[in-house]
Amino acid sequence: MERVAIGIDIGGTNIEIGIVNKQGTILLSFRWKTSDFLQAEEFVARLAQTTENLLSNNDWRIIGIGIGAPTANYYTGAIEYAPNMPWKGIIPLQRMTYQATGIPTKLTNDANAVAHGELVFGAGREMKHFSVITLGTGLGSGIVVDGHVLYGQHGLAGEFGHTQVDPNGRQCSCGRLGCLETYVSIRGIELTYQKLGGKENLNPRDIYLRAQQGDELSIETYKKTAQILGNKLADLVHLFDPEAIFLYGGVANAHPLIIPVAQAEMDRQLLKAFRGKVQIRPSDLLDKKGAVLGAAALIWQDEK
Amino acid sequence: MERVAIGIDIGGTNIEIGIVNKQGTILLSFRWKTSDFLQAEEFVARLAQTTENLLSNNDWRIIGIGIGAPTANYYTGAIEYAPNMPWKGIIPLQRMTYQATGIPTKLTNDANAVAHGELVFGAGREMKHFSVITLGTGLGSGIVVDGHVLYGQHGLAGEFGHTQVDPNGRQCSCGRLGCLETYVSIRGIELTYQKLGGKENLNPRDIYLRAQQGDELSIETYKKTAQILGNKLADLVHLFDPEAIFLYGGVANAHPLIIPVAQAEMDRQLLKAFRGKVQIRPSDLLDKKGAVLGAAALIWQDEK
């Protein structure tokens, strides 16, 4: 009988589920539409039914369920007012899942889940201090200190996307001006492209493809984005002194354009004592189902 | 026989030494001039002689020596290129002190020493996550995560003074533009006073006294300083999610003018989930010899 964990990545559009063994191999995975579940209760009921089916058809022992979800709180085990989810208010998903399945469950937010994944299955296995930056619709971060993902006093730590690039900068949806997320994210890159003179409505993937074909405006868009990220990463390094910074998420697929510029700008902005010591690199989980692996890592980390 | 620790605060001008018991009472203290010791060897030799005298004249057992010094590295036990010290280059002070005295020695930088002090002897005793900001010639910070002072991968963590307020801001001595330290520090406050139209060369203490007497320009100087600090503390809170932020150092004596404005600005800049949860307050060690207590706490923390 193989011992496995279930890793679940809940997003506004899809719910990705994977059966993950101790080595970080995804033995089986499938996807549900988030909108199929008007209430979290419906999702939990279907999950319970599915785990029973899985157990009766496979020689597995499920040792735990790990869930990554937007605005989820590791301490309270609840999704708290997720803006892009059909489930509103405070959802005590950890307790609900445990009650429905009888399987021990842990919950964290999506960026922290990737940090757990890097720590248990990625290059972070060998490190005690590192950060994971997730670049997508927003900019999230999971920060590892002394071999543990940092949660802070209220379970809210790691909001690097809402540190300020410029006190007179772009309006952020959080209400603040000039948050990093307004520049280094899908919407941020689109806006930078337009501000530099781009007339079309291109997404970061299109802009990246054009940049690879030599389009000046697209190259400039990524250069500016990477410079802003690199400068701000100097702040992160000054505070946390990590060994490495890993980039994850859809936008991070453009890392061949982002990392060299961000690394040079970061080193230029660092205090001398830090220069050359901290590497920016793509996450080991970038080409994999990193959020599913990370959610499963919430369970496997206890056996490290 | 009472067990005591020696706490030593090494600065560019003075070296403060205190004999500290487990309760954090300074039983005896004295001060040397840093410039009296052209070499670190001379300081260590005098310290060894002094501890022998102390032991022969008092019923003490010295369990350790803790030292706080600028640019000192906790991991290497060395002072590394301190700009304002007569001792140049890399000084392996931890090893030198142990070899001269035979007493176990620990070394850290001055801001981290205060964080250790707050953790062992101050309000931080009851907390797992907090930050100490030291406001003086520069702006330093000691950050406590999960009950431990954060050192990071290379012993360099906690350089909050060199995070950026404004990418087009004031020139910092480190080479970067707009570091927090260029605004919130002795020199930063003096400069702000002058930029607001002040014609005299006043130090922050003079400006504080005038502000207390109702001088508009002086009040405005502290208000601007506190707003910049409060806004930047929102970044710190977004990353670390602490329970409290403690202010320490000469400039922190103006806390009745600084804290209310900084607290309001910080809460205004925080994500909703954080608002009202993190208190800015004067360090418990502010009116005491906090750096000496903090250095001694390096020793006493092992008995917590």
Q: What is the pLDDT of residues A90-127, one digit of tens each?
A: 999 999 999 999 999 999 999 999 999 999 999 999 99
> How far B156 CA sits from the closest chain A CA (Å)?
6
Whether the per-residue pLDDT at A299 is higher than 80: the answer is yes
pLDDT of residue B148: 97
- CATH 3.30.420.40 residue window(s) in chain A: 2-114+289-303, 127-282
Of B80, B145, B153, the CB nearest to A242: B153
> What integer pLDDT is reported at residue B133 of this predicted model?
98
Residue B152, C-beta contacts closer than 8 angstroms, at least 6 positions apart? A129, A145, A240, A241, A242, B158
Residue A304 has pLDDT above 80, yes or no: no
Confidence band of B84 (pLDDT split at 50, 70, 90):
confident
Mean pLDDT of A66-89: 91
Q: Is A279 on the interface with B (CB under 8 A)?
A: no
The whole-number average pLDDT for the span A192-203 is: 96
> What does the pLDDT look like over B49-70, one tens digit per residue?
999 999 999 999 999 999 999 9
Chain A residue with CA closest to B73: the answer is A273
Q: Which of A89, A95, A237, A215 is nearest to A160 (CA)?
A: A237
User: In the CATH scheme, what is the code of domain B2-114+289-303?
Assistant: 3.30.420.40
Q: Which residues of B are less than 8 Å from A123 in CB distance?
A: none
* Residue B159 to residue A277, Cβ atoms within 8 A: no
Reported as a single tens digit per residue, the pLDDT across B284-301 is: 999 889 999 999 999 999
- Residue B180's contacts (CB-CB under 8 Å, 6 or more residues apart) are B139, B160, B161, B162, B163, B164, B165, B228, B229, B232
Q: What is the pLDDT of residue B110?
A: 92
pLDDT value at B259 more than 90: yes
Mean pLDDT along residues A44-61: 94
What is the overall mean pLDDT for chain B? 96
Residue B129 touches chain A, beta carbons under 8 Å: yes
Report residue B85's pLDDT band, with 50, 70 and 90 as the boundaries. Answer: confident
| Range B153-158 average pLDDT | 96
- Which homologous superfamily is A127-282 in? ATPase, nucleotide binding domain (3.30.420.40)
Q: How far apart are CA B136 and CA B143, in angstroms?
A: 17
Q: Say yes or no: B241 contacts chain A, CB-CB below 8 A.
A: yes
d(CA A139, CA A183): 9
Mutate to test the interface with B, among A76, A128, A163 (most CBs of B within 10 A): A163
C-alpha separations of B270 from A142, A159, B153 in Å: 18, 10, 28
What is the maximal distance between C-alpha atoms in chain A?
60
Contacts of A231 in chain B (CB under 8 A): 164, 167
Confidence of residue A302 (pLDDT cuts 50, 70, 90): confident
**pLDDT, tens digit (0-9, with 9 covering 90-100), for B160-180:** 999 999 999 999 999 999 999
Residue A303 in this model has a pLDDT that exceeds 90: no
For range B84-92, the mean pLDDT: 89
Range from A237-241, A300-304, B9-13, B121-125 carrying the lowest mean pLDDT: A300-304
Q: Which of B159, B232, B240 is nearest residue A238 as measured by Cβ atoms?
A: B159
ipTM for this prediction = 0.95
> Model confidence at A86, in pLDDT bands (50, 70, 90)?
confident
The reported pLDDT for the residue numbered B220 is 98
Question: pLDDT band at residue B251, thresholds of 50, 70 and 90?
Answer: very high
- Mean per-residue pLDDT of chain A: 96
Instruction: Work out the percent of chain B whose per-residue pLDDT is above 70.
Output: 100
Q: How confident is the model at residue A12 (pLDDT cuts 50, 70, 90)?
A: confident
pLDDT in tens, A169-187: 999 999 999 999 999 999 9
pLDDT value for B83? 78
